[in-house]
Amino acid sequence: MKNNTLHDELRQGVRAICKNFPDSYWRELDAQHAYPEQFVNALTNSGYLTALIPEEYSGAGLGITEASIILEEINRSGGNAGACHAQMYTMGTLLRHGSDKQKQEYLPNISDGSLRLQAFGVTEPNTGTDTTQLKTTAVRKGDKYVVNGQKVFISRAEHSDLMILLVRTTPLDQVKKRTEGLSVLLVDLRDAVGNGLTIRPIRTMMNHATTELFFEDLEVPVENLIGEEGKGFRYILDGMNAERILIASECIGDGKWFVERATNYANQRVVFQRPIGQNQGVQFPIARAYVNVEAADLMRFRAAELFDAGQKCGTEANMAKLLAADASWEAANAALQTHGGFGFAEEYDIERKFRETRLYQVAPISTNLILSFVSEHVLGLPRSY
């Protein structure tokens, strides 16, 4: 990790914003299943969501390391960076593979907040993580693609202006490799909704603004194709390593929040005339959680360092996500157990963060699939799926 002065400034700046959005703010949103519009606006106006956008497009021109610190601090402050993190990790697809015209048209407006790029349309109800089998199609007709199909668990679609959408442009039975024939479209949701796109909210156990999308003859201009037709799978993968690293940073933020809350409560709560933190049965789970969060933090920075250097980092990004998700979930359990019955009370916020951090055992890639990746691509074991 380098440039500690910049990193300290980023942490202090994000913490200052988060102080204006205390636990009560997030608790109220959670009860209403409402989107944190004020928080996202404050973060946007401060420039933090432009971290990965180059300066030539009015962005901050920072690396994935700095972006990860920003998201970590949001979660460490008790908030939920899931409301806006996609704007960071979808940048890779547009930045690396978008045309000069696309970048000039969209990136400055994303930087100043007049456009939001928050939606990432990949997952489908019948294919899940088996992305190459997705059923949403885009057929070219003249100067437009006509899109039909369905997506599910697409977060923030209702609160975004633009969406990165993965579609199949060549039927699966007409390609040599199943990863071929997939393409990426940049969809303007302002025009699409009501003109071939229907968005339906999905209520979940955490306030995550997730939706189901239905495409029926949605027309998307050919000029909104990102990169070359049929090579979209590789473009999406470019963004997924960034996604793994950034999600890992959020889990690390959660983990540090849980450890701090558990430690403070264990020092203050007195039972049998002594603080419960004096008991090793209370100490050890918190200490173990702390150790594991710190270890995951090191892997996060290692993966980010490789990413920023333009080196291969798929293994490290996946391991960082797995370790961080496991560490935050362990810390969540320790914090809940330490608080006892109060851990289930909304006013302590443990149960809210407990639900939020549980998501990362499943998404954006499940723990088991990361283990399958390491088994096959690192250890050389036979492919299991």
Would you say 187 and 179 are in contact if contact means Cβ atoms under 8 Å apart? Answer: no
Tens-of-pLDDT digits for all 385 residues of the chain?
A: 557 899 999 999 999 999 999 999 999 999 999 999 999 999 999 999 999 999 999 999 999 999 999 999 999 999 999 988 888 888 788 988 999 999 999 999 999 989 999 899 999 999 888 899 999 999 999 999 999 999 999 999 999 999 999 999 999 999 999 999 999 999 999 999 999 999 999 999 998 889 999 999 999 999 999 999 999 999 988 788 999 999 999 999 999 999 999 999 999 999 999 999 999 999 999 999 999 999 999 999 999 999 999 999 999 999 999 999 999 999 999 999 999 999 999 999 999 999 999 999 999 899 999 999 999 999 999 999 8
Q: Which of 145, 150, 152 is nearest to 169 (CA)?
A: 145
DSSP 199-248: EEE---SS---EEEEEEEEEEEEGGGEESSTTBHHHHHHHHHHHHHHHHH
Tokens 């036979």: give the residue.
Answer: 382
Domains of the chain, start order: 4-111 (1.10.540.10), 117-230 (2.40.110.10), 234-378 (1.20.140.10)
Task: Note whether 314 and 321 are within 8 A (CB).
Answer: no
**Residue 150 is inside which H or E element, if any?**
strand 144-155
Q: What's the predicted TM-score (pTM) here?
A: 0.94
Which string of DSSP letters, residue by residue, matches 289-329? HHHHHHHHHHHHHHHHHHHHTT---HHHHHHHHHHHHHHHH
Tokens 């996609």, located at residue: 86
Between the CA of residue 240 and those of 19, 122, 265, 313, what are the distances in Å?
Answer: 31, 11, 37, 11
188 burial level (CB within 10 Å; 0-12, 13-18, 19+): middle
Handedness of CA 248, 254, 256, 258 (dihedral sign): negative
Cα distances (angstroms) measured from residue 339 to each of 223, 253, 257: 55, 19, 14
Just list the catalytic residues: 243
| H-run or E-run covering 54 | none
Torsion sign across C-alpha atoms 215, 219, 225, 230: positive
